[in-house]
Structure 1
């Protein structure tokens, strides 16, 4: 049997490439007679650059950027030349990722996206005319103000001190924004995200996402106020584009994805970025459709399969894309917190959790590779018994 193994990362524990390797080893243990192919995937968060480079090649330009607290961290921009055009892949989490912060450092009131702007500058300096920015895994909530500052939109003292400082911003803080927009006019910016969170409101980024980044309920409310003020300022400095259907100004803060990565999506939209689904873009560029059609079974994986994975995740994207090929899809998850009804709705023929009992969770944490390999071997024996 031809088996395609196409997983996401297991959170910050294992990258997608490591997950794919462990699952392939496990499948080979359980069904050595099968023909295996691995295709690691990403939702636009940590590991995006590695996944794309493994699939299509390209050159990684190594650089050093600022993390959410201004410390230097290594990063890289992937450059891919095709058809006379240079595309740069930027993984925002390399500069603004939550994984860069210790538990006691997580404070979305002060973390900044400055380093993301530094990554964009590298991409442009290397001659990219198309820049795809994956924004998953963020540890910031500054509406992309830090990124704008790094690009030259205004002083770091006003824009790169985190979300709470934006309540003090005025038009002078964005004095160079028009120049940034003009400089990037010939660069196609692509916002790669499946997060449809708006910037503001009860379902906005400060209310929904900031608590997971370390914000208290009170701080989330203050961040909401600060981002609302900054949005008004930005709207006065840079008038919103006109909606071609209604003829009215677009409310960028209300558009799906504006709240992605703590509002980084909003700043990219203001610069003219075109939003696309991150998972769909990765599936497209890695050639997933062709690989799935040439397989008898697709096996995907994720660290935690919960209600948030029902839409906009690698697992749901793989299941949906594979429906067109009429091939079955099964998932191996670190933990599964949804029922059979939800997984069937997603299009999964089976879901197998590595950790089903408390002691199994401890084993997964202690040795994720070995436990994932062992669970996948049992799945292989179920789906591809020895002849």
Structure 2
């Protein structure tokens, strides 16, 4: 039996590569006769660069950038030359990731995306004419204002002090945005996102993702108003874009993915960016569908398999690709928070949780490799024919 093991990272505990290796070890414990292909994946969030660097020939350029609270942290830009085009891949979580913050530092009213702007500047310095930005796993909610400030769109004191400060920003806070757009006019700027949420509203960045980053309901509402003010400043600065097919005005804050990574998607749209599915970009880059040929089963996973996993995440992308190939797929996750009815539409044949009780959750956090390995071994008993 040929099994493809293709998980995302288990956020906060295991990288995608570590998760794949733990699953493979457990599977081998039960079914050593099976052939295993390990293919760690990402949807644009943490681990995006590591996954791509395994699949493409390129140069990893080390840089130093600011984290969400202004500390210097190491990061990288992956530069790939192909067919006469230079592409730079950037992982926004390396500069704006929630994992960079301690529990008492998680305050999306104050955190900034300044460091992501530094990553884009580094990509431009490498001569890239195509820049792919992986969005996901952020600890910020500033609409990408910090990114724009780092690139020269406006003063740091108005744009790089977190989402809350945008409420008091003046009308001319983005006085350099037009010139910045011209600088990016010759760059194919790609947003690789795991979500399609807009910037504002009940499905927007503040309402949906703010609480995950430490925002209380009151702070989330405050951030919603601040981002609304930010869009007003944009409207006073930029001409209203129009749809090329209909000629109708386009609201960039309503574009799918504008709310990704706390509104980083919106800032990239302002620079002329276009959105693609992060997981689909990764699946295409690593040749996932080619790997499925001749396989019998696909195993994927992530830290928490919940309702968000069903839209744009690795598990959903893997399951859909497996369904297209006529293969069964199963999910092994730290926790499973959706039922059979929700997963059937994706063609998922089974979901298995590493931890189902509070005691098991504690054990998984203490020994993520061992507990994931043990769960994979039990799943293999179900799916691998005894020899």
TM-score by length of 1: 0.97
Contact kept? 1:293, 1:327, Cα under 8 Å: no
Deviations 1:304-350 (A, max 9, x none): 11122122111111000111111111111111111122222221111
Aligned counterpart, 1:291: 291
Counterpart Cα distance in 1 of 2:294 and 2:180: 45
Residue 269, structure 1, aligned to residue 269, structure 2: yes
Counterpart Cα distance in 1 of 2:203 and 2:26: 41
Deviations 1:154-183 (A, max 9, x none): 111111011111122224321211111111
Counterpart Cα distance in 2 of 1:316 and 1:17: 19
Aligned counterpart, 1:5: 5
Counterpart Cα distance in 1 of 2:171 and 2:337: 47
Aligned counterpart, 1:142: 142
Contact kept? 2:96, 2:113, Cα under 8 Å: yes
Counterpart Cα distance in 2 of 1:187 and 1:166: 28
Counterpart Cα distance in 1 of 2:57 and 2:353: 33
Shift of 1:220: 1.6
Q: Tell me the C-alpha RMSD between the 2 structures.
A: 1.2
SS of corresponding position for 2:303: strand
Aligned counterpart, 1:245: 245
Counterpart Cα distance in 1 of 2:128 and 2:43: 22
Counterpart Cα distance in 2 of 1:341 and 1:286: 30
Residue 151, structure 1, aligned to residue 148, structure 2: no
Superposition pairs of residues 25-174 of structure 1, within 5 angstroms: 25-174=25-174
Deviations 1:54-93 (A, max 9, x none): 1223211101000011110110111111111111111001
Counterpart Cα distance in 2 of 1:199 and 1:245: 23
Superposition pairs of residues 295-314 of structure 1, within 5 angstroms: 295-314=295-314
Residue 341, structure 1, aligned to residue 341, structure 2: yes
Residue 226, structure 1, aligned to residue 226, structure 2: yes
4+ residue segments displaced more than 6 Å:
none
Aligned counterpart, 1:189: 189
Structure 1: stretches of 5+ with no match in the other structure: none
Deviations 1:329-377 (A, max 9, x none): 1111111111122222221111121112333222211101011111111
Counterpart Cα distance in 2 of 1:334 and 1:108: 26
SS of corresponding position for 1:173: coil
How many pairs align? 387
Residue 358, structure 1, aligned to residue 358, structure 2: yes
Contact kept? 1:24, 1:36, Cα under 8 Å: yes
Contact kept? 1:41, 1:51, Cα under 8 Å: yes
Contact kept? 1:33, 1:386, Cα under 8 Å: no
Structure 2: stretches of 5+ with no match in the other structure: none
Aligned counterpart, 1:18: 18
